[in-house]
């Protein structure tokens, strides 16, 4: 299987998971969705596919978009990363924190548009822009989880420990309450 096919399959799985998580009847009380925003409490709902923190939902998978930059964007300001999904690379090992270089990840039509605006071309249906040299140190939450790239597996990823995340891959970080609670390696041919 070519890397392009694997990449498209991974993107399709991610989009399908996001669509499935967002489907349902608004009048249906049996969705299993549980949220709480009292006292900055974080509640995770397996059925809902999101984590709610301080009233804002953070999906369980990086939101890949074809109409704009994916994830939570790439311009969070100068301070700490707010809650959301952030794409980039890291330096060194994953320990109690991670040194993270934030970048912008575009896919599909958004990738084509961004590349065209820079008089560039898209390869493999994604386009990355990293114009900010700032490296942020982000703490890793106790009990954080991770997914590592495994191109020989049908899903393309396997569950792994955060310490097993390989710095050769770009990653998505899910930040909740100022800490990384999930790391997902991004396959890139």
**Tens digit of each residue's pLDDT (9 = 90 or more) over 110-120:** 999 999 999 99
What pLDDT is stored for residue 79 in this prediction? 86
Length of the chain: 189
What pLDDT is stored for residue 60 in this prediction? 87
CB 156 within 8 Å of CB 187: yes
Phi, psi of 7 (to 5 degrees): -60, -45
- DSSP label at residue 123: B
For the chain, the structural domain boundaries read: 3-186
Secondary structure of residue 129 in the 3-state scheme:
strand
User: What distance separates the 2 farthest-apart alpha carbons in the chain?
Assistant: 50
- Cα distance between residue 189 and residue 181, in whole Å: 26
What pLDDT is stored for residue 153 in this prediction? 80
- Rounded to 10 degrees, the C-alpha dihedral 67/21/178/174 comes to -70
What pLDDT is stored for residue 56 in this prediction? 61
Residues with Cβ within 8 Å of 88's Cβ and at least 6 positions away in sequence, in order, are: 100, 101, 102, 103, 130, 170, 171, 173
**Tens digit of each residue's pLDDT (9 = 90 or more) over 62-105:** 999 999 999 999 889 888 999 999 999 998 889 999 999 999 99
CB 31 within 8 Å of CB 48: yes
Average pLDDT across the chain, whole number: 76
């Amino acid at each position: 299987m070519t890397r392009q096919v694997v990449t498209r399959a991974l993107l399709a799985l991610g989009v399908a998971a996001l669509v499935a998580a967002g489907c349902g009847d608004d009048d249906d009380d049996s969705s299993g969705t549980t949220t709480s925003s009292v006292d900055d409490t974080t509640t995770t709902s397996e059925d809902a596919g999101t984590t709610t923190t301080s009233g804002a939902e953070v999906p369980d998978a990086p939101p890949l978009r074809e109409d704009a930059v994916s994830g939570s964007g790439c311009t969070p300001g100068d301070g700490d990363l707010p809650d959301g999904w952030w794409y980039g690379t890291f330096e060194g090992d994953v320990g109690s924190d991670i040194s993270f270089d934030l970048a912008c990840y575009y896919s599909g039509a958004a990738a084509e548009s961004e590349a065209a605006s820079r008089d560039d071309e898209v390869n493999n249906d994604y386009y990355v822009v990293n114009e900010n040299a700032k490296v942020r140190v982000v703490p890793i939450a106790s009990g954080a989880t991770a997914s590592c790239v495994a191109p020989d597996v049908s899903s393309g990823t396997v569950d792994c420990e955060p310490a097993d995340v390989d710095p050769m891959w770009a990653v998505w970080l899910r930040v909740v309450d100022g800490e990384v609670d999930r790391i997902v390696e991004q396959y890139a041919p």
